[in-house]
Amino acid sequence: MALNSLFYKEVRAHHLFKCLSDECFQVISQHSGLISLKKNEILYECGYDASHFFLVRTGQITLFQTSLDGNEKIVDIFGSGQTFAETSMFTESKCYPVNARATCDTDLFYFDSEKFKSQLHLSSDSCFSMLAAMSNRLKNQTQEIVELSIHDAQYRLVNYLLEHSCDQNSNSCQALVKLSTTKSLLASRLSITPETFSRILSRLKKQDLITIKDDVITLTDPAKLRQLVGCCTGNGIHEGGKVRQILRFIA
95-119 pLDDT, tens digit per residue, is 999 999 999 999 999 999 999 888 8
Confidence of residue 135 (pLDDT cuts 50, 70, 90): confident
For the chain, give the mean pLDDT: 81
More confident residue, 17 or 205: 205
Among 148, 180, 214, which residue terminates a domain? 148
- pLDDT at residue 75 is higher than 70: yes
Helix (H, G, I), strand (E, B), or coil: what is residue 178?
strand
User: Which residue type does 199 have?
Assistant: R
The CATH number covering residue 21 comes to 2.60.120.10
Quote the number of domains for the chain: 2
Alpha-carbon distance 134 to 128, whole Å?
10
Among 148, 178, 210, which residue terminates a domain? 148
Confidence of residue 202 (pLDDT cuts 50, 70, 90): very high
The CATH number covering residue 158 comes to 1.10.10.10
Q: Are residues 40 and 123 in the same domain?
A: yes
Q: Are residues 20 and 55 in the same domain?
A: yes
Q: Are residues 60 and 97 in the same domain?
A: yes
User: Which residue type does 175 have?
Assistant: A
Helix (H, G, I), strand (E, B), or coil: what is residue 102?
strand
Q: Are residues 120 and 213 in the same domain?
A: no
Average pLDDT over residues 38-55: 94
Among 128, 148, 168, which residue terminates a domain? 148
Note the pLDDT of residue 235: 40
Note the pLDDT of residue 107: 95
Confidence of residue 3 (pLDDT cuts 50, 70, 90): low
Q: Are residues 55 and 68 in the same domain?
A: yes
Q: Are residues 72 and 187 in the same domain?
A: no
Residue 75 lies in a domain: yes
Which of 6-10, 108-112, 191-195 has the lowest average pLDDT? 6-10
Q: If residue 75 lies in a helix (H) or strand (E), which one and from where to where?
A: strand 72-79
Q: Are residues 207 and 144 in the same domain?
A: no
Residue 93 lies in a domain: yes
**pTM greater than 0.75:** no
Residue 183 lies in a domain: yes
Confidence of residue 167 (pLDDT cuts 50, 70, 90): low
Note the pLDDT of residue 241: 44
Q: Are 235 and 229 in contact (CB under 8 A)?
A: no
Confidence of residue 168 (pLDDT cuts 50, 70, 90): low
Alpha-carbon distance 225 to 231, whole Å?
9
Q: Are residues 53 and 170 in the same domain?
A: no
Domain that holds residue 217: 151-233
Q: Are residues 113 and 213 in the same domain?
A: no
Note the pLDDT of residue 236: 41
